[in-house]
A = this chain, B = another copy of it.
Amino acid sequence: MARLTLDISMSLDGFIAGPNRTVEQPLGDGGERLHEWIFGLASFRERHGRSGGDRNADDEVVRETLDTAGAVLMGRRMFSGGEGPWEDDPVADGWWGDDPPFRVPVFVLTHHARETVAKQGGTSFIFVTDGLESALAQAREAAGDKDVSVAGGASLVQQCIEAGLLNEMQIHLVPVFLGGGVRLFDQLGDTRRDLEVERAIHSPAVSHVKYRLPK
């Protein structure tokens, strides 16, 4: 069965987006700083239809991640681009543009049924209204031999952890303080548990630490 994995950039103080998010600025103040390490990499540029770029340890990590995801699981706010009146608009098309970088089926958890949106490059957004377990089952079916990757946001990640559904997690720990915003691990409640460090790869720009979550 396809594993459920997470790859996410987090600030040293625990945030995956800065404060003051809007639809124009879905990552909040300073949030783009979390992703600067990835923009110049060859694997990321290829995925966005560009050539060139750096081939280094960070690039290897990203390439591996992109290659292993056969389907994506996403919260509705991450699809729509942040909190606000648009987030439940059944015709809003999200903020991912015509050629989103996923290139696989993306299962969006939402309360509002709507038709599947097919984008260029292999990405489609499928809207699931009957809960996390159903969305995960559909994503597993679509992923085949590959992994299902949780894209976010934070509340969906926390749900997956609390429900014991997440198998593996790679945190890209970025050397920055954001001082506020969306915490990745905010509502874990009584989820006190040990993880296993699977591997750690480190560059001056970012530390990639991969954890296994035992059942």
A residues within 8 Å of B by Cβ?
12-14, 18, 29-30, 33, 161, 171, 173, 175-180, 183, 185, 188-197, 200, 202-205, 207, 209, 211
Contact = CB atoms under 8 A, between A and B. Distances in A.
Given A207-B197, A211-B12, A177 B202 contact: no
A88 B29 CA distance: 40
Given A12-B171, A14-B185, A185-B14, A193 B177 contact: yes
B14 A173 contact: no
A35 to B, nearest CB: 14
A179 B189 contact: yes
Given A13-B185, A175-B197, A177-B188, 6 more contacts: A173-B209, A175-B196, A179-B188, A197-B202, A197-B204, A197-B205
A177 B191 contact: yes
A179 B158 CA distance: 11
Contacts of A177: 161, 185, 188, 191-193, 195
Contact of A195 (B12, B29, B180, B200): B12
A192 B179 contact: yes
B179 A12 contact: no
Contact of A209 (B30, B179, B202, B211): B202
5 closest Cβ pairs, A-B complex: A13-B185, A200-B202, A175-B195, A179-B188, A14-B14
Contact of A202 (B185, B189, B202, B205): B202
